[in-house]
Amino acid sequence: MKVTFIGLGIMGSRMAANLLKHQINLTVFNRSKDAMIPLVNAGAKSANSIQEAVQEADVVISMLSTPIVVESVFIEDGKALDHFKEGAIWIDCSTVNPSFSKKMEVTARQRKISFIDAPVAGTKPHAENAELVFFVGGQEATVEKVHPILAMMGKKIMHLGDNGMGSKFKMLVNMMLAQSMIIFSETILLGEKMGLDKSFLLNTIPNLVVSAPFTKFKASMIAADDYAVQFPLEWMHKDLHLASQTAYEYQQPLLLANLAKEMYANAVKKGYSRLDFAAIHKFLEEK
């Protein structure tokens, strides 16, 4: 099976590297050519264009930043879908809004291409260690075909139903993640103002039953004042924007999530966009 991987950022580069560890016949493509070099050195083939990258692939995996970029690459400027071979499978691991995933499925089906939305839970270390969790939407027979490939990059594959269901669940997960980080940060900052030791707070609060488990990892970032990126803050802002857009489509109010979106927007404006999303703590600390 020939596989093509498109989008070699923080997550995609590591996911593609794990495919190579399993001797997958892999072609890679990225707008920035430098990102392809380590994978080519590890055994991948590089493509000179998006059209060349997809034309012989049985499976194409994309890990791109926003719906706008996905649409540009596959439908508008790049027109990648026009160069897929009939019967190929497109797995989009990008975090996008559910209605966009449904649109991509319809567009792919019109070209006799199977589509799966498969966004992931996890950050850079999980991608590196093949410990991602895939939230998958698509037809069962198609998901079964690509299950072994997904398993090379992750520890768990959750098939949640038809197309769009993977994107729906990922949206909920990131809404919780974004808001939980703010709650944790505000708690720590108030504790400090009341005279409690910062180290005590960062070591104790993440271990309480009321705390989100991921805060254990973010507490060490706060303690070191080091927000080296694992999940960029700007993409968390993007995910909250997509959640707000989806809530509008379903006529569901999102009072707290929209407030969180504006807080992340202000952090982006202050220059924290390429730091880890835990840098929302630094933003709040400076206010």
Nearest-angstrom CA–CA distance, 97 and 65: 12
* 42 and 117 in a common domain: yes
Report how far residue 236's alpha carbon sits from residue 174's, in angstroms, rounded to the nearest whole number: 7
Q: CB of 96 within 8 A of CB of 69?
A: no
pLDDT for res 173: 98
Looking at residue 265, which CATH number applies to its domain? 1.10.1040.10
Residue 124, classified by CB atoms within 10 Å of its CB into exposed (0-12), middle (13-18) or buried (19+), is middle
Rounded to two decimals, the pTM is 0.96
Q: What percent of the chain has pLDDT over 70?
A: 100
Mean pLDDT of 265-285: 98
What is the rounded distance in angstroms from the CA atom of residue 40 to the CA atom of residue 245? Answer: 39
Do 11 and 148 sit in the same domain of this protein? yes
The CATH number covering residue 67 comes to 3.40.50.720
**Quick one: 129 and 244 in the same domain?**
no
Q: Pick from 137, 161, 185: which residue ends a domain? A: 161
Last residue of a domain, one of 106, 136, 161: 161
Tabulate helix, strand, coil % of the chain (nearest 5). Answer: 55, 15, 30
pLDDT tens-digit profile of 219-264? 999 999 999 999 999 999 999 999 999 999 999 999 999 999 999 9
Whether the CB-CB separation of 104 and 62 falls below 8 Å is answered with: no
Phi, psi of 267 (to 5 degrees): -65, -40
Q: Are both 17 and 141 inside the same structural domain?
A: yes
Question: Do 203 and 251 fall into the same domain?
Answer: yes
User: How many angstroms separate the CA atoms of 177 and 194, rounded?
Assistant: 26
270 shares a domain with 197: yes
CB-based burial label for 133 (10 Å; 0-12, 13-18, 19+)? middle
* Alpha carbon separation from 12 to 9, 28, 30, 61, 197 (Å, rounded): 5, 10, 10, 9, 39
Length of the chain: 287
Q: Using an 8 Å Cβ cutoff, are 236 and 268 in contact? A: no
My answer on whether 65 and 199 are in the same domain is: no
Q: Does 196 lie in the same domain as 66?
A: no
Which candidate in 168, 170, 218, 238 is catalytic? Answer: 170
Dump pLDDT digits (tens) for 71-121: 999 999 999 999 999 999 999 999 999 999 999 999 999 999 999 999 999
The predicted-structure confidence for 25-67, as pLDDT tens digits, reads as follows: 999 999 999 999 999 999 999 999 999 999 999 999 999 999 9
pLDDT, residue 130, reads 98
- Residue where the block lists tokens 């059209």: 51
Burial tier of 112 (Cβ tally within 10 Å: 0-12, 13-18, 19+): exposed
Residue 116 shares a structural domain with residue 89: yes
159-210 pLDDT per residue, tens = 999 999 999 999 999 999 999 999 999 999 999 999 999 999 999 999 999 9
Using CB atoms within 10 Å of the CB of residue 167, give its burial: 0 to 12 exposed, 13 to 18 middle, 19+ buried. buried
Q: What is the pLDDT of residue 287?
A: 84
Same domain? 187 vs 271? yes
Residues 125 and 259 in one domain: no
d(CA 270, CA 267): 5
Count how many domains the chain has.
2
| Residues 11 and 134 reside in one and the same domain | yes
Q: Quote the domain boundaries for residue 226.
A: 168-285
Give the mean pLDDT of 7-14. Answer: 98
Amino acid at 56: E
Active site residue 170: yes
User: What mean pLDDT, rounded, does the chain reach?
Assistant: 97
Q: Please say which residue of 126, 161, 196 terminates a domain.
A: 161
Vertex 208 angle, CA 183 and 193, to 5°: 50
